[in-house]
Amino acid sequence: MDALTSSPLGWLCAGVTALFGVTVLYVAKRSPVEKANVLVWRVLPALLGLLCMATLGAGRGLVVFCAACLIFSMYLGSRALLPVGDKAVLITGSDTGIGHALAKYLDNLGFVVFAGVLNKDGPGAEELRRTCSQRLSVLQLDITNVTQIQEAYLEVSEKVQNTGLWGVVNNAGILGFPADGELLPMSMYRQCMEVNFFGAVEVSKIFLPLLRKSQGRLVNMSSLAGGIPLPRLAAYGASKAALSMFSGVMRQELSKWGIKVAAIHPSGFRTGIQGTFDLWVKQEKELMENLPADTRQDYGEDYLLGLKSYFQRMPMSCDADLSPVLTAILHALLAERPHGLYTPGKGAYMLLCIFCYFPLWFYDFFISKMLSSESVPRALGTEAESKNL
């Protein structure tokens, strides 16, 4: 070791080790995500440098160590978060679910939050007023109503003045009634597109001048169903896929303005997006009334009634802990180098990889096995029984 440290290359390697250690420590202290790991990031570069010198010699050790430094720097750059400061963020769909939890989460971190709600006098809005700080403002914001979006823009721009708006989180969305695509009425497709896609596009277009002032962030809440095909989610998935494509194009186009765009593709979380029991009954009634007689005959009453029970069981298979989604959104808002796509939740990234990198027949087979316990239409059950006979 004495020979290594007495050589010029040895001293150079030790210097690079020390410089990298100080840099990593500085980045770790700046980032709230890394505060728990400050000691690890302080010790790791020094140990790595010493190991390289001891095992490979000063020359080769320096090459390996510098390559490792580059990898660590890229990783830490993606982990480092900007300070919250007085950053202002607009969140749509803050009445319930992810939007409601996000409004509380960002308010607690010190953000200036504009919480857009469908009902300004509803229980969700009242809870935000009661539990959050005075920095949070509740806005009446039906994203399918252009007038309300424009009024919200005027109110936000008046409060942020010349600093601009740091972030827009397009969270508002509807699920619709999960059923086979053939069974869904066209009104359900249009409604999903109106809220999940056109509403988000309208909000983005109107608020982009404020994002340009701050060179801020546009975050669009898509879905796992917007990245991969999932049975019984044709209307919802198609609208979220459109939103994901919009996010990708805007990420490319807005980069010249310094605006960063991210899409969030969560897996199943318990958010209340299914709506109330009265809404289920209304949607089921609309579905039944629009079914042609031959379609109703082929699917059968048992299958159609099973859709409602499937709808009611959905929340039971979803994760009640929203923290992975909130953490992903925070990273998209504050990271120096945010990702273009986030996949929080159990199994989200795995399913996306299977869909992208495996043959489609394997993906379809995998999904069919996941849903193998579901009932089959009456006509198909009759055919199977006839073959067995």
Q: Encoding tokens for residue 88?
A: 């202002």
> How many structural domains compose the chain?
2
Under the banding of pLDDT at 50, 70 and 90, the label for residue 31 is very low
Q: Which range in 56-60, 293-297, 308-312 is most confidently predicted, on average pLDDT?
A: 293-297
Q: Is the pLDDT of residue 220 over 60?
A: yes
| Predicted TM-score of the model (pTM) | 0.78
Q: Is 319 helix (H, G, I), strand (E, B) or coil?
A: strand
Q: Is the pLDDT of residue 214 over 70?
A: yes
Pair 155, 39 in one domain: no
Distances (CA, A) of 349 to 87, 267, 354: 30, 9, 9
Q: Is the pLDDT of residue 9 over 50?
A: yes
Residues listed for the chain: 389
Q: Is the pLDDT of residue 84 over 70?
A: yes
Lowest mean pLDDT among 63-67, 213-217, 239-243: 63-67
48 versus 219: the higher-pLDDT residue is 219
Q: Is the pLDDT of residue 47 over 70?
A: no
Helix (H) or strand (E) holding 61: helix 38-79
Domain boundary among 79, 100, 127: 79
- Cβ 260 vs Cβ 334: under 8 Å: no
* Domain-embedded: residue 389: no
Under the banding of pLDDT at 50, 70 and 90, the label for residue 18 is low
* Domain-embedded: residue 70: yes
309 versus 139: the higher-pLDDT residue is 139
Per-residue pLDDT tens over the stretch 335-359: 999 999 999 988 788 888 899 999 9
* Domain-embedded: residue 247: yes
Distances (CA, A) of 354 to 223, 360, 363, 367, 371: 16, 9, 6, 10, 16
Pair 261, 345 in one domain: yes
pLDDT at site 163: 86
Pair 98, 51 in one domain: no
Residue (of 152, 131, 130) closest to 141 by Cα position: 152
Q: Encoding tokens for residue 198?
A: 């056109």
Q: Is the pLDDT of residue 333 over 80?
A: yes
pLDDT at site 341: 95
Pair 72, 94 in one domain: no
pLDDT at site 301: 77
* Domain-embedded: residue 377: no
* Domain-embedded: residue 378: no
Catalytic residue, from 105, 153, 236, 299: name it.
Answer: 236
* Domain-embedded: residue 381: no
Pair 117, 51 in one domain: no
Residues above pLDDT 70, as percent of the chain: 71
Pair 42, 104 in one domain: no
pLDDT at site 292: 87
- Average pLDDT, stretch 124-132? 96
Could you confirm whether 105 is annotated as catalytic?
Answer: no
Helix (H) or strand (E) holding 170: strand 167-170
Q: Is the pLDDT of residue 152 over 90?
A: yes
Under the banding of pLDDT at 50, 70 and 90, the label for residue 61 is low
pLDDT at site 289: 80
Distances (CA, A) of 294 to 51, 112, 304: 74, 55, 13
What counts of helices (H) and strands (E) characterise the chain? 16, 7
Per-residue pLDDT tens over the stretch 184-194: 999 999 999 99
Q: For residues 372 and 365, what is the distance between their CA atoms, to the nearest angstrom?
A: 10
Say how many C-beta atoms besides its own lie within 10 A of residue 232's C-beta: 22
Under the banding of pLDDT at 50, 70 and 90, the label for residue 296 is confident
250 versus 67: the higher-pLDDT residue is 250
pLDDT at site 382: 63
Q: For residues 299 and 40, what is the distance between their CA atoms, to the nearest angstrom?
A: 59
Pair 188, 304 in one domain: yes
Q: Encoding tokens for residue 197?
A: 């896609």
Domain boundary among 16, 49, 79: 79
- Cβ 89 vs Cβ 168: under 8 Å: yes
Lowest mean pLDDT among 5-14, 220-229, 290-299: 5-14
Q: For residues 363 and 242, what is the distance between their CA atoms, to the nearest angstrom?
A: 21
- Cβ 210 vs Cβ 254: under 8 Å: no
Under the banding of pLDDT at 50, 70 and 90, the label for residue 315 is low
Q: Is 361 helix (H, G, I), strand (E, B) or coil?
A: helix
Pair 271, 173 in one domain: yes
* Domain-embedded: residue 100: yes
* Domain-embedded: residue 116: yes
User: Strand 341-342 to strand 260-264: parallel, antiparallel, or no bridges (unpaired)?
Assistant: parallel
Under the banding of pLDDT at 50, 70 and 90, the label for residue 369 is confident
- Cβ 240 vs Cβ 225: under 8 Å: yes
pLDDT at site 94: 96
Q: Encoding tokens for residue 175?
A: 């699920």
Q: For residues 3 and 37, what is the distance between their CA atoms, to the nearest angstrom?
A: 33
Q: Is the pLDDT of residue 30 over 50?
A: no
Pair 125, 35 in one domain: no
- Average pLDDT, stretch 159-169? 93
Q: Is 341 helix (H, G, I), strand (E, B) or coil?
A: strand
Q: Is the pLDDT of residue 169 over 50?
A: yes
Q: Is the pLDDT of residue 252 over 60?
A: yes
Residues above pLDDT 90, as percent of the chain: 50
What is the domain range of residue 341?
A: 88-370
Q: Encoding tokens for residue 359?
A: 């043959």
Q: What is the CATH number of the domain that holds 247?
A: 3.40.50.720
Pair 57, 102 in one domain: no
Domain boundary among 79, 96, 127: 79
Pair 50, 199 in one domain: no
Q: Is the pLDDT of residue 39 over 50?
A: no
Pair 70, 140 in one domain: no
pLDDT at site 10: 58
